Amino acid sequence: MYSKPGFHTLLQLGQVAAAFAAPYTWPSDTDFLESLLYEQVGHDAFTPAAVVAPCGNVVLGKGRSVPAEWIRTAYHDMATADVAAGTGGMDASIGFELDRAENPGLASFTETLGNMKQHLTSRSSMADLIAMGAIVSVGACSNGSVLIPFRTGRVDAKEAGPKGVPEPQQEIDSHVSAFKRQGFNKAEMIGLVACGHTLGGVHGVDFPTIVPVPVNDPTKDEHTQTFDNTTEKFDNIVASDYVNNIQQNALAFGHNQTTRSDARIFDSDGKVEIKKLAASNDYFLKTCGSLLERMVNTVPKKVKLTPPIQPVPVKPLKLFATINSNGKMKLSGRIRLFDTFEGKPDRSVEITFYPRSGADCAKTKSCVQAKAIVDPQSWTATTYAAYPSFPLFKRYDFEVEVPISVGVSGFTVAVTDKINGKFQTTKYDNNGKKFPFRDTLLTQHNLSCEETTNKGLLNLTIAVRDDAKLDSVSGTVEVPSSLSALVPYVKSVPITFKKMRAIPKAGYSLYNAQHVYQPGSYRRVYNLVGKSGKTTEQSVFHEAKELPN
């Protein structure tokens, strides 16, 4: 059973919004990653986090730990960093480095990258996804006790980085030098190794000199010797076991003295740091949170990361405007709000749409209002994280007709909740800019579809406002360069729109384009562009999965 998040029970919607370090304006380039990070379970959730949350949710085989493998992948990717030179770090170069002796365990890396590749887009680099994988693994296996802020903006490398991942048989001076190059001193090296080895273990199939594999063994077992006996729990047992001489960790007490790298590392300061980590689980968790945050944020000096992505309290989703021949357009969509498992039966959500002209609709009486509703007990409207401290969301659906002559430029959202017996309303206006809903280029949901089987056809019909007088209407779809590559780059493929016909009495014309996707599991994104002289109209980053199947 999933644990119930506690975040939403502690803060009211408005308080959370006010607590943000910087104002959030929708839409943002980080919206896609925000959903991947915070919408882990529930309706329409498709995210890397679902693989590891709750900890060990997906089992790849006996002796395998997906969270451990994701953290290992992140470290091996970062380990090429030279912080003094400002090169390497979290850049997904690991995808080009798997033929090296320092990166044994091909399956764990390729399966990690394969999981992440499903979410690769122009707004989610592989390097960002690898970092997110480590962050959600730690969050899930600590049951939310270690929440590492997630920043985005990492850039994928196009080639391998220099060698530099420490190996078990190397001397301590080599380890100290490698971690120093990566930006960690001796105490931090000890902490980072302990944090990395609290999950998972040593696979004999990859390290037979450390964990012996029986000859002619017919099983498919990985012959894993776990680092401790709480391998699916992010805790300090790996440290306390070492201090108390409990000889579970093969890298500390293994039969092969040459490969006892953990012992050499833990002893390198006279056992001072490892004893601190062993003595207090709180100290261990705090230390790991800090060190792992630095690890995933180690990037080339030219890369600038964003501020931490916060959960968005009011977020529009799946906005569509259907043009009808009766002189009206039907607006529909969803508003995602912080909520609770129990629901808020007294809550009301009202959306006010503003006219295309931008006029003060209160004075001109051209505002159109719609009620957004949700069944408080409906799980089809709910998404949440599989561990505490993250919010729970519910989606409030709306549908309303607006005269085409009036049109729409944006909207505001008013949320009314009953607090301490009194109704209180909070208005959200997107930092004074209103939530934009431009009505020039409009996907016609009822005339479009995505075929996910057979040929993977995208059949896309859009309505274009005639009085916008666009000289051209075009589009692109995002596709991976090659699904056989471990780190494909995302390329933009043009699609050609053909004018079909005018919609009677509407002032809009229909355009259609078709594209056949290459087979495979990846995010299918399309973008719309219209140009008139020096003016450009854009409607970008739409997922094809929002269309009828």
- DSSP string of 48-102, one letter each residue: THHHHSSTT-S--STT--HHHHHHHHHHHHHTT-BTTTTB-SSSSGGGG-TTSTT
Residue 461: which of 473, 479, 478, 469 has the closest Cα?
473
Domain stop point among 436, 466, 487: 436
Question: Within this chain, do residues 329 and 258 fall inside the same structural domain, yes or no?
Answer: no
Residue that finishes a domain, picked among 436, 455, 479: 436
CA distance 197 to 191: 10
Residue 243, amino acid: V
Is the residue at 21 inside a domain?
no
- The three-class DSSP label of residue 191 is helix
How is residue 158 written in tokens? 């196009």
Measured CA to CA, the distance from residue 125 to residue 137 in angstroms comes to: 18
Q: What are the beta bridge partners of residue 411?
A: 353, 435
At 141 the three-state DSSP class reads helix
Contacts of 330 (CB under 8 A, 6+ apart): 321, 322, 324, 399, 400, 401
Do 511 and 426 sit in the same domain of this protein? no
pLDDT tens per residue across all 549 residues of the chain = 334 444 433 344 444 444 444 678 999 999 999 999 999 988 778 899 989 988 988 777 788 899 999 999 999 999 999 999 999 999 999 999 999 999 998 888 999 999 999 999 999 999 999 999 999 999 999 999 999 999 999 999 999 999 999 999 999 999 999 999 999 999 999 999 999 999 999 988 889 999 988 766 756 677 889 999 998 899 999 999 999 999 999 999 999 999 999 999 999 999 999 999 999 999 999 999 999 999 999 999 999 999 999 999 999 999 999 999 899 999 999 999 998 877 788 899 999 999 998 877 777 676 788 888 876 555 568 888 888 888 999 999 999 999 999 999 999 999 999 989 999 999 999 999 999 999 999 999 999 999 876 678 999 999 999 999 999 999 999 999 987 889 999 999 999 999 999 999 899 999 999 999 888 888 999 999 999 988 899 999 999 999 998
**Is there a domain that residue 83 lies in?**
yes
Tokens linked to 522 = 């990846």
Quickly count: other Cβ atoms within 10 Å of residue 236's Cβ: 26
What Cα–Cα distance (Å) separates residue 142 from each residue in 75, 238, 246, 288, 389?
18, 14, 22, 11, 12
Please check whether residue 43 lies inside any domain of the structure.
yes
Closest CA to 132 of 210, 58, 39: 39
Question: Quick one: 391 and 449 in the same domain?
Answer: no
d(CA 238, CA 230): 9
First to last CA, the chain: 31
pTM recorded for the entire structure: 0.93
Is residue 308 a part of any domain in this protein? no
Range of the domain at 400: 314-436
78 and 89 in contact (C-beta within 8 Å)?
A: yes
The Cα 85–Cα 64 span in angstroms is 36
Q: Is residue 479 part of a domain?
A: yes
Which of 436, 461, 489 finishes a domain? 436
Q: Tell me, what's the pLDDT at 220?
A: 62
CATH of the domain at 333: 2.60.40
- Check whether residue 86 and residue 61 sit in a common domain: yes
Rg (CA), the chain: 26
Quick one: 171 and 225 in the same domain?
A: yes
The pLDDT value given to residue 216: 67
Classify residue 25: in a domain, yes or no: no
Statement to judge: residues 101 and 241 lie in one domain: yes
- Residue 144 shares a structural domain with residue 73: yes
* Two structure tokens written together for 478: 């995002």
The pLDDT score that the predictor gives to residue 531 is 94
Q: What is the 3-state secondary structure (H, E, C) of 359-371?
A: CCHHHHCCCEEEE
